[in-house]
Amino acid sequence: MVFSACTNDTPVNMQNRPPAQVDGNAKSAYRKISAMQAYQMMQDSNEYVLLDVRSLEEFKEKHISGATLIPDVEIGSRAAKELPDKNALILVYCRSGGRSAKAANELVGMGYANVYDFGGIVDWPYETVK
């Protein structure tokens, strides 16, 4: 299967990701990336969590293969149990980008160190599951 997209975004190289800093003691920060960068990160590593923060109904309509569903309103109550590794690479998306930004920021606030928000599935030019 071949995927193609037209964009000016530069792919993110997993080895060359800059460490995020909130302050001198923290290692977690909110990071916004493009769909193309998220896709490249997924190609570069098998060690990531693809997190869909939409509703169950939206997830059933269409989602990205391999995604874990935790609706944004349930992040606070479910993340610790379902995302136990706070150093895991977590790629977050929703429908259009609002809920993913909120959820990514909430995860960072909970101490997750490698959270990347790539916005909405509406901007995902690659294959999805229906």
* Active-site residue list: 94
- Reference 48, options 90, 15, 107, 6; nearest CA is 90
Q: Which residues contact 61 (CB under 8 A, 6 or more apart)?
A: 130
Q: Within its chain, how far is the Cα of 63 from the centroid?
A: 13
Residue entry with tokens 């479910």: 78
